[in-house]
Structure 1
Amino acid sequence: MSVRSRLTKAQNATPCEHGRLMLSSSPHDSTIGFVRPPVTKRIAARMPSGRTVAATDITSASDSTKPSYEPPDTSFPAPLVLPGDDLALDPKYPPQTLRMWARDSNRNPITPLRKTVYVTSPPVLSADVDFMRAWTMPNTKSLGKAKHDLLARLPAELNMTIVQHYLEAFFHPLPVKLLGPPLSFTSWEQRKKPAKPSHTRVDIAILTPPSTLTKINHRSRPNSFLFTNQLSMSDLIDALMTSIPSDAHSITMLTQHDMYEDEDDEFICGRAYGGDRVAVVSSARYVVPPGMEDDGDSDGDEAGHQWPASHCWDFVKRKCANGNDEDEDVERTRKKRKTVVNKASDPFKSTNLIDVATNLSAPLPRALSVFLQPPPESMNAHATSSTYAASFHFRVIRTLTHEILHTFGLDHCVYYACLMQGTASLGEDGRIPPYLCPVCSEKLWRAVKAVITDGADGAPNSVTLNPRNGKKHPQEKGILEDKLRHDWMVERYRRMKAVCEQNRSRELGCQWRAFAGWLEGRLEELIQ
């Protein structure tokens, strides 16, 4: 079965026209007690003072340079909060305002001397641990023959040029560098002959520059698991902490191997230690296309509703129809506290819905329209592998940016559907948008502003002074701040859109193409 066939099945298996989008949280939020902060508090959350803004002070949509500007819901909808989602399991998760972020003593500010974002390529394998190569391949016994045949034809290696170009656009104007020379896995004993894993357990280590050897614990998994062996995430973090360059703000390791955090974990895709400026991200779980890693999505409904189709109203209704089943399954293993059930007479009454066809100029409907466009008839034979590679990179890079932002001090977001939302499953991972919401975007702006105002990357480094005393007028300072923020956001979006257009596939359901559509709509809002 080709990827195109898989995606087409995902769209057609469950009747769904994607005619309406839900911009509010799902009706499940009232069941589990999630209350989204109102618009006045959402605006206050991105103000340096943290003070609540009166409804009468909310800036109109035509004045998007102001910090009190609230974008329309068609640009930044509410978090979905579907059964089994992270916020459904922890609905009282504390929000992080801009003021809280700025005052966090564990946050490492960006400085002109320590501003570079470093990323490592996946570690290479030395000859004595070449058997680890098999650990990066999905266990096809747990997938079935059809899925095995598909995976055998699909590439799984990251193109680090794509990774670097996207990060340069996302974190503009910060420099992004690939750490060299590459890290390497080797044996802890430094054996002279290649080790054979069949009878004896081999202790693995990672060699980091200049010549530090760190032991990496690993564990084997039953044949029913997707990967037969996993590496300790904590040990990888320890190794990375020995390799932080002097000009680095943060460093993130990419690995092709599946990871675990503790013995109770099934797997973990990424983890960051913000105070230590390090993170690690595994691409292993993204090797398998959406919906194929779990037989629970045998009808393709979950795979067919990756972002931006995740806000499809019909899909949300189907997910909510399952009630608390998914929450309860996770509750039994994670032992979360009980939640109060609020049985509303009509849980769908207060939802915010829009018709896609009549709102195609808005970012989210535009993204969905592009996402669902059928491929051209002249598609060539290489489209299948290129489409998979595009999706694979999109999913890995989305998690990578999320973890790097943790090293900037950003916590999980509860204000909007946002890149910085927490995730409780691979299904939810696919529903998370690739953009930052207004609150998290303001944190990133404040983080990189020191570089911009120092004149880095050709940015202005002076302002109009009061001729009477040579100081900035407070009003002038505020106007300049608003303009710098606005210009930075426009330039950042333009750069991200250019990268998306370079990476987009011509097949059905490409999220690069959808994100380019969202960015195009958002740019029109900002420069109108």
Structure 2
Amino acid sequence: MPPPCPHRSLQLEPSAYAREVGFEWTSPAQRLAAATRSGRVPVLPAPSAGPSGGGRRKAADVRAEQVARDLLHSFPGPLVLPTDELAWDPGYETQSFQAWCDDETRNRPTRARRTLYVAAVPEITEEVGFMRDWLRAQPKPGAATHDSSSSSYPELKTPDLDDYVAYLGAFYHGFTVKPFPQKLRFVSWEQKNRSKKYQYVGLATEEGNCTRIRARTSPDGVFSQQLNLEDVLDAEISVLPKDAYAMALLVDHDLYEDEEDDFCCGRAYGVNRVCVVSTARYHPILDASQELDIDHVWPASHCKAFVDAQVAAADVHRAREPSRGGAATRHAPPTQTAEHLRTLWLSRLVRTVSHELGHTVFLDHCVYYACMMQSTTGLAEDLRQPPYLCPVCLAKVSHKVAVELQGGGGDGARHAYVLERYEALAQVCDRWKGVGMFAGFQAWLRARIEIIREQHRS
């Protein structure tokens, strides 16, 4: 095992590979403008003494570029590594704050519809007890694995619903975040004509609603069976409370979306205000077999040495087939306690649930910065993405809450909200400050809070 990477320098701009695939990063001025309601570069304070006329305008342009570059220390650009989503789709369309505001179809909160619900993992009833076998991971043959039955890797319990509610209550500060009040259950489903392709189970509520869920054999064999996420989302839509702004459903089973998928970790139907997230592939027991470089998950994902190594290893002429993970260099030894591993599992899941709920707020995938709303090709890229919202996506959420939900007035209300939200997130991260993502996020939040306060003082 090689020594740990010292992470001596950071990559603040997209990698050299971005140019190879044709990714054109937005300019500093475009990034600043994208975070404004007007769609124009904001008027920035300049020194009282200085040039006039055209010279002043030029000085303002230089000032705007400097402000945008200063932001990179808190909000680096997207990495665009060889297996990243933006490497496969470098021309993905941007969604500015102005474009988001002008979208007449987006989900708007009302007095009667302002609650975010989080539904717990459905219970497996005795009549479908065989579904418990579907939860057992079988890492890929030949891969370095940790044996979940051995004393070196303790059995983990699914993270508590209350922890999701606490984190999401801070992340979407201003919304009311509650557990879904009904208990969901997997039950048997009678099918007259048996399918050779699918098994069927039902997803039922306490009120008696029941939706058929297809299950298929997992193509990669990591789990024996997978549930169809479109069916699960249909069940969720049927029970969406009247006062729900949106709802997230957690499932422990592996999911797939269509026949082309190996698996899918989560999906949102923004228009329908629902999303589903599977806990399965995020389980730490699978880290080694999924070839995850644990040394370079966020906040270490912008390590320049790591980025350069990934680019150097890429063959830009190879056939473009999506990868489910990056090259593995080291793996964390399985010496952590069960509680540490469970919190690590939670840290991965809350980021994904926050992302999927972001789509119900009508946030599109982000290409402006490294951002929680970036799209990913698989687990390796997923764990490299930050848990924070970039300035453009944060402008949308702050407007949604401070202006549309709370009735505040414009930029002043949004700016005050941002500071409140950062404080709420820093406090909730303190619950789990011994675990990488939460510790890194709390440090990042405290730094941003100090920067904002310093800007206000000056």
Contact 2:139/2:286 (<8 A) preserved = no
1:34 offset after TM fit, Å?
A: 0.5
Deviation at 1:291, TM superposition (A): 3.5
| Amino acid of the structure 2 residue aligned with 1:491 | E
Distance 1:398 1:129 in 2: 31
Counterpart CA distance in 1 for 2:72 and 2:165 is 31
2:215 aligned residue: 218
TM-score, with length taken from structure 1: 0.75
Identity of aligned residues (%): 36
**Post-superposition offset of 1:322:** 1.8
Q: Is residue 515 from structure 1 mapped to residue 441 from structure 2 by the alignment?
A: yes
8 A Cα contact 1:418 1:436, kept in partner: yes
Which stretches in structure 2 are left out of the alignment for 5+ residues?
43-56, 325-333
CA distance in 1, matches of 2:68, 2:429: 27
1:259 aligns with 2:255: yes
Q: Aligned in 2, Cα 1:32/1:145: closer, same or farther, shift over 3 Å?
A: closer
* Alignment-derived partner of residue 106 in structure 1: 105
1:247–1:332 distance in 2 versus 1, CA, 3 Å: closer
TM-fit CA distance, 1:511? 1.4
Q: Aligned in 2, Cα 1:452/1:251: closer, same or farther, shift over 3 Å?
A: closer
Separation in structure 2 between the aligned mates of residue 59 and residue 496 of structure 1, nearest angstrom = 34
Q: 1:120 is matched with which residue?
A: 119
1:403-429 C-alpha deviation (Å, 9 max, x unpaired): 001001000000000000000111000
Aligned partner of 1:27 among 16, 28, 32:
16
**RMSD, aligned CA:** 2.9
Show the counterpart of 2:432. 503
Q: Does 1:483 align with 2:412?
A: yes
1:434 is the counterpart of 2:377: no
Question: What is the letter of the counterpart of residue 182 of structure 1?
Answer: K
The equivalences for 1:183-194 within 5 A come to 183-189=184-190
2:363 corresponds in structure 1 to: 410
- Asked whether the 8 Å contact 1:83–1:327 carries over to 2, the reply is no
Structure 2 residue aligned with 1:308 = 299
CA distance in 2 between partners of 1:190 and 1:152 (Å)? 40
What is the CA distance between 1:102 and its match in structure 2?
Answer: 1.5
Q: Aligned to 1:105, what secondary structure does the other structure show?
A: coil
Aligned amino acid, residue 405 of structure 1: G
2:301 partner SS = helix
Paired position in structure 2 for 1:377: none
Task: Give, as a single letter, the amino acid of the residue that structure 1 aligns with 2:300.
Answer: A
- The separation in 2 between residues aligned to 1:201 and 1:274, in whole angstroms, is 27
* 1:503-525 CA-partner distances (Å, limit 9, x unpaired): 1226xxx2111111111111110
- SS of corresponding position for 2:86: helix
1-side partners of 2:280 and 2:81: how far apart?
A: 25
Contact 1:84/1:424, CA 8 A, preserved across alignment: yes
Kindly provide the amino acid, as one letter, of the partner of residue 158 in structure 1.
P
Cα distance in 2 for residues equivalent to 1:38 and 1:44: 10
Q: Return the offset for 1:51.
A: 3.0
- The answer as to whether partners of 1:111 and 1:450 remain within 8 angstroms in 2 is no
Deviation at 1:189, TM superposition (A): 2.4
Contact kept in structure 2, 1:250 and 1:404, CA below 8 Å: yes
TM-superposition CA deviations, 1:359-416 (whole Å, max 9, x none): xxxxxxxxxxxxxxxxxxxxxx995222211110010000000000100100000000
Q: Which has the higher contact order (CA 8 A, sep 6+)?
A: 1
Structure 1 counterpart of 2:164, one-letter code: V
| Displacement after TM superposition at 1:323 (Å) | 2.1
List structure 1 segments (4+ residues) > 6 angstroms apart after TM superposition: 58-61
CA 1:58–1:511: 2 relative to 1, 3 Å: farther
Q: In the TM superposition, what is the alpha-carbon distance from 1:320 to its structure 2 partner?
A: 0.3
Count matched residues.
Answer: 425
1:276 maps onto 2:275 in alignment: no
Q: 2:312 is matched with which residue?
A: 321
**In structure 2, do the counterparts of structure 1 residues 261 and 55 end up closer, same or farther at CA, with 3 Å as the change threshold?**
farther
CA distance in 1, matches of 2:118, 2:161: 9
Provide the C-alpha distance between the structure 1 equivalents of 2:419 and 2:18, rounded to a whole number of angstroms.
Answer: 34
Q: Does 1:176 align with 2:165?
A: no
Deviation, 1:493, is 0.7
Rounded Cα–Cα distance in structure 1 between residues aligned with 2:144 and 2:310: 29
Within a 5 Å distance, the mapping from 1:94-493 to structure 2 comes to 94-140=93-139, 142=141, 146-149=145-148, 153-189=154-190, 203-221=200-218, 225-289=221-285, 291-294=287-290, 296=291, 302-324=293-315, 328-330=319-321, 384-450=337-403, 453-454=406-407, 481-493=410-422
**Gaps in structure 1 of 5+ consecutive residues:** 1-8, 62-67, 192-198, 334-380, 455-460, 462-476
**Partners in 1 of 2:453 and 2:227 — Cα distance?**
47
Letter in 1 for 2:159: L
Q: Which residue of 1 aligns with 2:81?
A: 82
